Amino acid sequence: MSTLFAIRGAEPEDVTLLGDATRGDLDAFATLYRRHQQRVFRFARAMTGSSDAAEDITQEVFVVLLTDAGRFDPARAAFTTYVYGIVRNLSRHRVRRERPGPSVDDLLRDGRDFDSDDDPSKLVEGAQLAGAVRRALIALPSRYRELIVLCDLHDLSYEEAAAVVGASTGAVRSRLHKGRQLLRLRLARVREAHQASGEFRQVRCPA
């Protein structure tokens, strides 16, 4: 909730900066970019699973903010909610245009990432674990994935997430519950695949 208050406290300033940027003040636009770029980039990266796609989406989001600034209505939603909505729409378009997402077989093959016998360092293991979770998250339907990212990673409230995705608070709760269940199920499958591949390797290695 502290993040929410911090965001709301910055609203007037964001609106002022946006107005100055639309009038050609690039310094105001740079300030606006530095304030929101990490949030935008993280959300886009979590939604697309790709840093390159997240960079493109970040650039596109700020260009859209500048050119379509007249569409932002402070009475309807907060500036951060508006930015999240743009990122969400662009990410959905990008994912829909490029690839539908990994299948269950891809997830089962990704179980080899847990096999860190060759590299025992915790850093690599953590990266592999994070990659496995990211792939499992990407495999979720977008209506569940976006709410998990918004609520569990970006700490948005149900109301703010509902404003971003354009749904009611009850729908957000329901989708979030369902998304978490699906994510747990997929992570359990990945772990089982990892264990199975480990036993298989134990059998084959002595030979």
Which stretches of the chain bind other proteins, using CB under 8 A? 21, 24, 26, 29-30, 33-34, 37-38, 40-42, 45-46, 51, 54-55, 58-59, 62-63, 66-67, 125-127, 129-130, 132-134, 137, 148, 151-153, 155-158, 161, 179-180, 183-184, 187-188, 191
> In the structure encoding, which two tokens stand for residue 191, read together?
């772990």
CA dihedral of 152, 155, 157, 160, whole degrees rounded to 10? -110
Distance CA 160, CA 78 (A): 9
Least Cβ distance, residue 158 to other proteins (angstroms)? 7
Cα four-point dihedral sign 205, 102, 60, 5: negative
Residue nearer to other proteins on the CB measure, 95 or 138: 138
Least Cβ distance, residue 207 to other proteins (angstroms)? 28
What lies within 8 Å, CB to CB, of 37 at 6+ separation is 58, 62
Distance CA 28, CA 36 (A): 13
Residue nearer to other proteins on the CB measure, 16 or 38: 38
Residue nearer to other proteins on the CB measure, 188 or 196: 188
Least Cβ distance, residue 55 to other proteins (angstroms)? 5
